């Protein structure tokens, strides 16, 4: 289903498997906001040609920020064809930039200035500036059409730079203001330029094949100097070099190639310059090998290394096996044997009349400049750093206490407030489980129509998904550590009897226990259908005794949040043990486990089931369960809680197909395949996540609705396969990009066999691109109920 000609998923961002930085180069993954909106880019690193006033200075040019007068605005109106004005960002190190976002000045409705068009210039060293052009050679990028919407543009080819300038362009004089963001990732290869002989032209059956480096950003005469281009654009060529992934380009576009006729020595020499001295492990060269057209990977490579000023005397030589059998283009990996170098010069020897490369990547080890050999100095420095850290920590704690005290006072007056949790919380949440976190504070920030406007809504950066996560809790539960306003009771630990372990995470375990006399401890509105004196089965989530203070605080916060959730379709927090360690929360136990396992054990009613004698679940039962999930989610959304991880694995099944939503999934290794680990960042359930959650880090009720659609799909397929099981994680992310671009190339989950059109219609509505067009849980619940009648 994936190869449907023009409409197929494009997977041409390539990477050399295994290298440290390599993963970052895949399209879709290297799309992190680089810190204009998130604040990681400092004010002093944002500058401009001019400013209209102090309140529209460069530092106000941050996407989705409303500080100052709401944007960066240059001093004078932008004239046609004058490229005098720019907003400049210094990223402090080289980055691979794949996407840019722009926005105008809205300022709560007062502003109405924006850039309809702009150009981008970039630099790696702040002295040589290069104008960005797309693959067709066009420089102007379409910008905004109003003052508030964020417009994102893919950079094709991507940019490798430290400095980036946005230059507003106009066809008539106008006032222009801009807010911007850059998206990408750090450029770990460290390559700042390669110099090579210019690519040549081949004549194939009378047709020219242009093997020049068409996106090279240095000087090109007889050779290429001081630039980067196709060999570092993350795009691997196809097996057949006359074809390309890129639309509407000439044959040979993806490759830079040379013929042995022009090189009497028998080799092509390429010189690579790096940002600093590095400890190199490998080089990977993506080569074409269409030997029937006289193209082969190289037969030998000889590399010279320069660390300080001098070239090392003995080069490194490597001869790959010449392949006369397999036509496919491939990465050839060359071990660089931990040579230290800031420049590498390699001579690639022809194995055939032609040699063609599409990509070269480098992998290097630790930053050697940070290594100090003298061990005494090292110990001294470690001690000094430790002392400084302790002092800083003390100061921070003192300040934090004061600030916190003030905040508490303020917050008590309001009904709702934000809390910024730290990085730790979410990683804990992700690894151990249960918190149902809330979205933006409803009363304080919702726009008139009750829906946060797209431009006003948070664009949390992807790091923000694991890090500065904003959620709301009622002010009355703010007094976190006193425990007095937890809406559930303390349960005597001795009345719990351990039965078995249900799950385990980094910060704790979930046990199945028997609890005696539970009835006295819980609200009368909640009924166990068991006689008074019988012990009941409960699930007990326990924080490890050695968990640090952050984990403890987060555990307590989680208790606060969960204790407020009272709905027949949400797992209920029954009681807690927080007076002594280890901290525990006691929740209902659902005897049939999670919905995923439950359905996997069952079959639809029908012939096969009759023969194989497995237990069946009817369509009406499936719909009944889906209705309950919708009902629980309707309750959560009414409180403006965003679940973030709705899936069958997080819905628990009780007697008679009752369903309660929980969030225990991540604590189990069982489902690790459902989560995608972004290097050193978070684990994310990408197959359930909306496009805006993946690309922009935005989690809202509308993204929960998307996940509901996937959950519904899982339910109707009896969880027999993972969503998009035929796609790899990278392809799922690529597909997300298609949802964002919305050019009818996105792949939807197919209609399950059992699923009537009306239900599939609901799923498709949940996966609409525009969040406002997705149905509410209220509507979904109503439609499901009606279809049941
Ligand atoms: C590469 O070759 C194509 C086709 O002849 C040409 O249009 C293009 O300008 C060339 N690019 C460079 C940078 O030489
Ligand atoms: C380069 O890295 C390797 C492996 O990490 C290490 O063993 C070696 O000592 C390093 N070389 C230098 C000169 O630092
Ligand atoms: C180029 O390579 C072809 C094929 O290996 C060979 O026949 C030819 O002699 C080579 N030409 C030169 C100038 O080395």
Q: Give the DSSP per-residue string, 265-322.
A: TSEEEEEEEEEEEEEEEEEEEEE---GGGTB---SEEEEEEESSSSB-SS-EEE-PPP
Determine the pLDDT at residue 687.
Answer: 92
Say how many Å lie between the CA of residue 340 and the centre of ligand 2: 8
Helices (H), 498-618: 549-564, 595-600, 607-612
**Phi and psi (nearest 5°) for 416?**
-130, 160
Task: Calculate the CA dihedral of residues 77, 78, 83, 84 and round it to 10 degrees.
Answer: 10
Q: Whose CA is nearest to atom 12 of ligand 1?
A: 214
**How many angstroms separate the alpha carbon of residue 353 from the centre of ligand 3?**
5
Q: How is the chain split among helix, strand and coil, in percent rounded to 5?
A: 30, 30, 40
CA nearest neighbour of 703 among 692, 713, 711, 712: 692
* Half-sphere CA count of 347, side-chain side, radius 13 A: 12
Instruction: Give ligand 1 pocket residues (Cβ under 6 A).
Output: 210, 212, 214, 220, 250
Q: Which residue's CA is the nearest one to ligand 2's atom 3?
A: 338
Two tokens, residue 352: 């055939």
Nearest ligand by distance to the CA of 338: 2
Q: Which residues, including other chains, have CB under 8 Å from residue 403's CB and lie 6 or more apart?
A: none
Distance of CA 212 from the midpoint of ligand 1 (Å): 6
Tokens of 165: 């300038």
Q: How much distance in Å is there from the Cα of 214 to the middle of ligand 1? A: 6
With H, G, I as helix, E, B as strand and everything else as coil, classify residue 33: strand
Partnered with residue 421 across adjacent β-strands are 469
CA 123/CA 192 separation, integer angstroms: 10
Measured CA to CA, the distance from residue 709 to residue 66 in angstroms comes to: 34
Q: Is the CB of 352 under 6 A from ligand 3?
A: yes
* CA 266 to ligand 3 centroid distance, Å: 9
In total, the chain counts a number of residues equal to 789
Of all protein residues, the one whose alpha carbon is nearest to atom 14 of ligand 2 is 368
For a pocket test of ligand 1, which of 131, 212, 220 has the largest count of ligand atoms closer than 8 A to its C-beta? Answer: 212
Which alpha helices (H) appear in 691-728, and where do they start and end?
691-696, 701-716
Q: Which ligand is nearest to the CA of 299?
A: 3
By DSSP bridging, strand 130-131 and strand 508-515 are unpaired
pLDDT score recorded for residue 485: 54
Other C-beta atoms closer than 10 Å to the C-beta of 641 total 24
80 touches 170 (CB < 8 A): yes
Six token digits for residue 403 = 């600030």
DSSP 8-state symbol, 132: -
* 158 token code pair: 């991507």
Does 367 contact ligand 3 (Cβ within 6 A)? no
Ligand 2 binding pocket (C-beta < 6 A) is: 279, 338, 340, 365, 368
Give the residue, by CA position, lying nearest to ligand 1 atom 8.
214
Tokens linked to 20: 């440290």
Q: Which atom of ligand 3 is nearest to the CA of 259?
A: 1
Q: How far is CA 173 from CA 15, 176, 300, 380, 390, in A?
A: 44, 9, 59, 61, 56
Side-chain-side CA neighbours of residue 715 (13 Å): 34
For residue 384, count CB atoms less than 10 angstroms from its CB and return exposed for 0-12, middle for 13-18, buried for 19 or more: exposed
Residue 374 bears catalytic tag: no
Which residue spans within 322-414 are E strands per DSSP? Answer: 330-349, 354-364
Q: Which two tokens stand for residue 255?
A: 């490759």
Residue 256 host element (H or E): strand 256-259
To test ligand 3's pocket by mutation, which of 257, 260, 262, 263 has the most ligand atoms within 8 angstroms of CB?
260
- For the Cβ of 258 lying below 6 angstroms from any atom of ligand 3, the answer is no
Question: What residues contact 389, with CB distance under 8 A and at least 6 apart?
Answer: none
Under 8 Å between Cβ of 118 and 167:
yes
Ligand located closest to 353 CA? 3
Distance 277 CA to ligand 2 centre (A): 12
∠ CA 275-280-285, rounded to 5°: 90
Supply the pTM of this predicted model: 0.51
State the ligand closest to the CA atom of 339.
Answer: 2
Side-chain-side CA neighbours of 717 within 13 Å: the count stands at 19
Pocket test of ligand 2: the residue of 340, 342, 365, 369 to mutate, having most ligand atoms within 8 Å of its CB, is 365
The whole-number mean pLDDT for each consecutive block of 10 residues of the chain, a chain of 789 residues, reads 27 40 47 91 95 92 92 84 89 93 90 93 93 92 92 91 94 88 90 94 92 92 88 89 85 95 96 93 94 95 91 93 89 93 96 96 68 60 86 86 69 33 29 30 32 26 26 32 61 86 75 84 65 78 80 78 85 87 87 88 74 78 94 91 87 91 55 59 79 84 95 92 88 88 88 89 93 93 83
Give phi and psi for 710, each to the nearest 5: -70, -40
Candidate list 645, 663, 674, 729, residue with the active-site label = 645
Q: At which residue do the structure tokens 């609890």 appear?
A: 515
Task: State whether the beta carbon of 75 lies less than 6 angstroms from ligand 3.
Answer: no
Q: What are phi and psi of 618, to 5 degrees?
A: -80, 165
Ligand 3 atom closest to the CA of 351, numbered from 1: 5
Both tokens of 694, joined, read 């993946």
- Which of 293, 350, 354 most suits a substitution to test ligand 3, by most atoms within 8 Å of the C-beta? 350
3-state secondary structure 173-187: CECCCEEEEEEEEEC
- The tokens describing 549, both together, are 């203070």
> In angstroms, what is the span from residue 688 Cα to ligand 1's centroid?
43
Q: Are 624 and 655 in contact (CB under 8 A)?
A: no
How far is the C-alpha of 140 from the C-alpha of 717, rounded, in Å?
47
> Which of 223, 259, 215 is CA-nearest to residue 358?
215
What ligand has the least distance to the C-alpha of 324? 3
C-alpha of residue 351 to centroid of ligand 3, in Å: 9
Q: Is 505 exposed, middle or buried (0-12, 13-18, 19+ CB in 10 A)?
A: buried
Q: Would you say the CB of residue 324 lies under 6 angstroms from ligand 3?
A: no
Ligand 1 atom 9 nearest Cα:
214
CA 261 to ligand 3 center in whole angstroms: 7
Strand order in the sheet with 508-515: 489-490, 573-577, 584-588, 536-543, 508-515, 496-504
H or E element, residue 515: strand 508-515
Q: Are 123 and 130 in contact (CB under 8 A)?
A: yes
Three-state DSSP class for 622?
helix
């Amino acid at each position: 289903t994936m190869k449907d000609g023009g409409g197929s998923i494009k997977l041409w961002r390539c990477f050399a498997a295994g290298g440290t930085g390599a993963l970052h180069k895949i399209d879709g993954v290297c799309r992190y906001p680089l810190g204009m909106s998130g604040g990681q880019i400092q004010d002093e690193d944002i500058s401009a040609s001019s400013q209209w006033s102090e309140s529209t200075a460069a530092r106000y040019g941050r996407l989705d920020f409303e500080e100052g007068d709401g944007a960066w605005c240059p001093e004078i109106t932008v004239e046609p064809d004058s490229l005098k004005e720019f907003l400049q960002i210094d990223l402090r190190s080289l980055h691979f930039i794949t996407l840019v976002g722009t926005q105008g000045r809205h300022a709560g409705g007062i502003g109405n200035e924006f850039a309809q068009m702009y150009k981008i210039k970039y630099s790696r060293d702040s002295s040589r500036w290069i104008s960005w052009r797309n693959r067709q050679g066009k420089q102007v990028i379409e910008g905004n059409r109003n003052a508030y919407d964020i417009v994102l543009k893919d950079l094709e080819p991507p940019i490798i730079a430290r400095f980036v300038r946005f230059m507003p362009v106009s066809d008539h004089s106008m006032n222009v203001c801009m807010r911007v963001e850059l998206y990408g990732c750090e450029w770990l290869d460290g390559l700042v330029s390669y110099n090579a002989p210019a690519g040549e032209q081949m004549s194939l059956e009378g047709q020219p094949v242009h093997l020049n480096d068409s996106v090279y950003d240095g000087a090109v005469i007889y050779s290429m100097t001081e630039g980067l281009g196709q060999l570092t654009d993350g795009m691997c060529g196809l097996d057949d070099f006359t074809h390309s992934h890129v639309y509407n380009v000439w044959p040979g576009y993806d490759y830079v190639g040379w013929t042995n006729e022009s090189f009497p020595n028998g080799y092509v020499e390429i010189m690579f310059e790096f940002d600093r001295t590095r400890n190199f492990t490998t080089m990977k060269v993506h080569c074409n090998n269409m030997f029937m057209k006289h193209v082969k990977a190289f037969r030998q490579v000889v590399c010279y290394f320069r660390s300080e000023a001098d070239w090392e005397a003995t080069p490194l030589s490597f001869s790959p096996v010449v392949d006369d059998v397999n036509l496919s283009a491939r990465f050839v990996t060359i071990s660089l044997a931990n040579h230290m170098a800031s420049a590498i010069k390699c001579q690639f020897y022809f194995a055939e009349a032609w040699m063609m490369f599409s990509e070269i990547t480098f992998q290097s080890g630790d930053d050697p400049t940070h290594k100090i050999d003298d061990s005494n100095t090292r110990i001294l420095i470690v001690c000094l750093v430790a002392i400084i850290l302790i002092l800083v920590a003390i100061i921070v704690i003192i300040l934090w206490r004061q600030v916190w005290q003030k905040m508490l006072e303020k917050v008590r007056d309001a009904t709702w407030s934000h809390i910024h949790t730290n990085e730790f919380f979410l990683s804990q949440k992700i690894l151990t489980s249960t918190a149902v976190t809330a979205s933006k504070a409803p009363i304080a920030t919702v726009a008139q129509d009750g829906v946060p406007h797209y431009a006003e809504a948070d664009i949390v950066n992807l790091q923000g998904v694991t890090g500065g996560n904003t959620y709301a809790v009622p002010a009355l539960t703010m007094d976190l550590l006193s425990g007095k306003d937890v809406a559930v009771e303390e349960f005597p630990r001795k009345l719990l009897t351990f039965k078995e372990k249900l799950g385990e995470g980094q910060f704790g375990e979930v046990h199945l226990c028997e609890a005696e006399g539970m009835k006295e401890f819980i609200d009368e509105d909640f009924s166990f259908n068991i006689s008074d004196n019988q012990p009941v089965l409960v699930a007990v989530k326990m924080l490890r005794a050695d968990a640090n203070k952050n984990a403890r605080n987060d555990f307590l916060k989680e208790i606060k949040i969960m204790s407020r959730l009272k709905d027949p379709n949400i797992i209920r927090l029954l009681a807690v043990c927080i007076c002594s360690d280890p901290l525990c929360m006691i929740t209902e136990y659902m005897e049939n486990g999670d919905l995923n396992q439950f359905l996997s054990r069952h079959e639809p009613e029908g012939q096969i089931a009759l023969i194989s004698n497995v237990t069946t679940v009817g369509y009406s039962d499936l719909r009944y369960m889906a209705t309950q999930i919708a009902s629980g989610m309707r309750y959560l959304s009414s409180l403006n809680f965003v679940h973030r991880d709705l899936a069958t694995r997080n819905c628990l099944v009780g007697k008679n197909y009752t369903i309660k939503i929980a969030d225990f999934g991540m604590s189990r290794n069982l489902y690790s395949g459902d989560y995608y680990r972004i290097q050193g960042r978070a684990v994310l359930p990408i197959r359930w996540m909306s496009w805006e959650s993946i690309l922009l880090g935005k989690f809202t009720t509308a993204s929960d609705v998307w996940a509901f659609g996937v959950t519904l799909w899982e339910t109707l397929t009896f969880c027999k396969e993972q969503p998009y099981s035929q796609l790899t994680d990278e392809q799922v992310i690529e597909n997300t990009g298609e949802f964002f671009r919305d050019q009818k190339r996105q792949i939807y989950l197919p209609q399950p066999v059992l699923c009537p059109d009306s239900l599939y219609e609901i799923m498709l509505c949940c996966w609409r691109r525009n969040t406002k067009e997705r149905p509410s849980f209220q509507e979904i619940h109503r439609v499901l109920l009606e279809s049941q009648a």
